[in-house]
Amino acid sequence: VDSVGCSERVGAQVRAWKAEGCRVGFVPTMGFLHRGHTSLMDLARSHCDRLVVSIFVNPLQFDDVTDLERYPIAPAADAEKCRAHGTDLLYVPSNFYPEGFSTAVSVGGLTERLCGATRPGHFDGVTTVVARLFGVVSPDVAVFGEKDYQQLQVIRSMVRDLGLAIEVLPGPLVRDEDGLALSSRNTRLSVKDRRRSLSLHQALLAMAQAVDRDVESLIALGKSILDVDRLDYLEVVDADTLLPLKEVEGKARGLVAAYVGETRLIDNVAL
């Protein structure tokens, strides 16, 4: 797989592919790739002729400096996984924000609640980086994981509002055998904390099995199962608007964010 740092070269390659009539797919990531990421590559591959994957740990979206400093990296293993999953071009930006970069992209509404309420500035960082990545790569189709369910909806909003000609495809959440949602941050968990982390999925599963109850008692049920150090939120929301529901009806989603030790974890399920 061809690894490119220069954004102009990426743009030129994509234009050449498009001139040949190829449909270009894109999977943006922050690296330390796992099966969640490679599943998105496989999905993108089945919707495009050429696949671009980016690896960039975007400082703008980190509201916590130690989280950024401790973010794991594995460049060689990542490149190998990209190759094995049909990536044609690996974009690892060297100087991503050009000198004088002063633009921010901000989606309102959807970003005010859930992770937006507990991680100030996070989604503005996400939409700004993704808007620039979309500008550099100009993909026809881009895949985002349902692991970051709110992020997926925020990106969809941005694409719709800005009239970008990019199809956004959701990729299903991939879990470890024991149910823990795969995340690059899982590597930071101690053995004991990893075991406690399973309670996020267990709480959501119990809620999914009790959807005939009202939302208040569903949340109480979930909270009784969670074994975490700090709960940011546990909510039942409309799957599209992300607004809280009183009853589970239509397309509903259970979403959780919590700290286990120093590590912030998120998870969600369809209800």
Which residues participate in catalysis according to the annotation? Answer: 37
Give the tokens for residue 158.
């941005």
Cα–Cα distance between 167 and 209 in angstroms, integer? Answer: 33
Cα–Cα distance between 107 and 121 in angstroms, integer? Answer: 11
Q: Write a three-state SS string for 111-139.
A: HHCCHHHHCCCHHHHHHHHHHHHHHHHCC
Q: Is 183 in the site for ligand AMP (CB under 6 A)?
A: yes
Tell me the window of 44-52, 170-178, 189-197, 233-241 that interacts with ligand AMP (CB under 6 A): 170-178
Q: Which residue, 20 or 69, is less far from ligand AMP as judged by CB?
A: 69
Exactly one of 174, 210, 231, 270 binds ligand AMP (CB under 6 A); that residue is 174
The alpha carbons of the chain give a radius of gyration, in whole angstroms, of 19
Per-residue contact string for residues 146-165; x = within reach of ligand AMP by CB under 6 A: -xx-----------------
Q: Are 228 and 193 in contact (CB under 8 A)?
A: no
Q: Which residue, 22 or 182, is less far from ligand AMP as judged by CB?
A: 182
Q: Are 208 and 268 in contact (CB under 8 A)?
A: no
Tell me the window of 86-94, 159-167, 168-176, 203-211 that interacts with ligand AMP (CB under 6 A): 168-176
Report, in Å, the least distance between residue 133 CB and ligand AMP. Answer: 11
Residue 121 φ then ψ, to 5°: 85, -10
Residue 94: what residue type? S
Per-residue contact string for residues 230-269; x = within reach of ligand AMP by CB under 6 A: ----------------------------------------
Per-residue contact string for residues 118-147; x = within reach of ligand AMP by CB under 6 A: --------------------------xx-x
- Cβ neighbours of residue 125 closer than 8 Å, sequence gap 6 or more: 58, 59, 60, 61, 62
H helical segments located in 34-146? 35-45, 65-69, 75-84, 115-118, 122-137
Give the tokens for residue 220.
């109480």
Q: Which residue, 26 or 219, is less far from ligand AMP as judged by CB?
A: 26
Per-residue contact string for residues 3-32; x = within reach of ligand AMP by CB under 6 A: --------------------------xx--
Query: What letters, b where the CB count within 10 A reaches 16 and e where it falls short, cover 240-267?
Result: eebeebeebeeebbbbbbbebbebbbbb
Exactly one of 107, 173, 242, 271 binds ligand AMP (CB under 6 A); that residue is 173
Q: Is 221 in the site for ligand AMP (CB under 6 A)?
A: no
Report, in Å, the least distance between residue 21 CB and ligand AMP. Answer: 27
Q: Is 220 helix (H, G, I), strand (E, B) or coil?
A: helix
Q: Which residue, 116 or 171, is less far from ligand AMP as judged by CB?
A: 171
Exactly one of 17, 24, 25, 36 binds ligand AMP (CB under 6 A); that residue is 36
Which residues of this chain interact with ligand AMP, rule CB under 6 A?
29-30, 36-37, 39-40, 144-145, 147-148, 171, 173-174, 181-184
